[in-house]
Amino acid sequence: MPDWNSLRRGSAQTTLALCALLLGAATARASVVTYNGFASTAGLTLVGNTTTTTTSDGTVLRLTAAAGGQSGAAYSTSAVALGTNATFSTTFDFRFTSPSAPPADGITFVLAASPTGLGSSGGGLGYGGVANSVAVEFDTYNNGAGDANSSNHVAIDTNGLLTDTAAAFPYGLQSCTGSGTGCMSNGDLWKVTIGYNGTDLSVAVQDGSQAVDNLISNYAINIASYLGTNNAYVGFTGSTGASYENQDITTWSFANTTQLAAPATVPEPSGLGVFAVGMAALGLAGAARRRRPG
């Protein structure tokens, strides 16, 4: 007669080992870049006026200081292999402080084919002129009709052109002077979530403890076609002009899956989902053992 106790132990150990392997693989895929602060900038290339400084948020990445005519950028030093069809997701926190009246100019999150692309200052957001790239801008200055007629908007730009595609206004606030809920220059800690599933791009923001505002939902774009590659240097640009503000990134995570943007677009199973599948398999194995012949 078979030794059912030995078989049961072997089955359980095999299933749990499979769960651990799958969970480990899912976790390894998820996060490519993680900065819970910027006391160390190892892995980043800083360009132009970008530096680090210590604030109440700890050591932050200061894209531009509150001074006129600044332009800076920070890119991953090594190219990141994006997911299928350039799939990625990212979250980061920013805080804009000490604004002039009016504040200026804003920042972008960027994926680029080069790690040293620094664009023009002022309305260029440190991004204008950066070729083979895609950016999401967070613009705090109104440069007129070509700038969504807004001093408070989020939009999509490509190949170093400030086209303000799919422009949207946080919490419906199209213009602001540096204060108030929904004004990106209000000094609050803002959280940004961006997800791209290989076809559609989505952007959400959160002003402090306010509800999340899903600004751009499922905007169709072929990011790989702009980059010309499935590998990208990822990071941020920022600028000031005659007007200014401190523009700080306090934390940042980037993944080559859509996991960080859940639940907006998640084509792959999460690590917890894989673990649940494994536990279900373990339950089925147990049921099978209970039905074994006497």
The answer to whether residue 236 sits within a structural domain is yes
Number of separate domains in the chain = 1
The answer to whether residue 197 sits within a structural domain is yes
Reported as a single tens digit per residue, the pLDDT across 56-102 is: 999 999 999 999 999 999 999 999 999 999 999 999 999 999 999 99
| Helix intervals (H) in the chain | 4-30, 223-227, 271-290
The answer to whether residue 26 sits within a structural domain is no
Q: What's the rounded mean pLDDT across residues 42-61? A: 97
The answer to whether residue 176 sits within a structural domain is yes
The answer to whether residue 3 sits within a structural domain is no
- Report strand pairing: 231-239 vs 51-55: unpaired
What is the percentage of the chain residues whose pLDDT exceeds 90?
74
Q: Show the domain range for 36.
A: 32-285
Angle of CA points 255, 258, 262, to nearest 5°: 115
Provide the CATH number for the domain around residue 123: 2.60.120.200
The answer to whether residue 18 sits within a structural domain is no
Q: Which pTM does this prediction carry?
A: 0.81
pLDDT at position 29 over 70:
no
The answer to whether residue 16 sits within a structural domain is no
The answer to whether residue 290 sits within a structural domain is no
DSSP string computed for 92-139: EEEEEES--SS---EEEEEEES-TT----SGGGTTTTT--SEEEEEEE
- Return the residue matching tokens 């677009």: 265
Burial 200-227 (b: 16+ CB within 10 A, else e): ebbbbbbbeeeeebebbeeeebebbebb
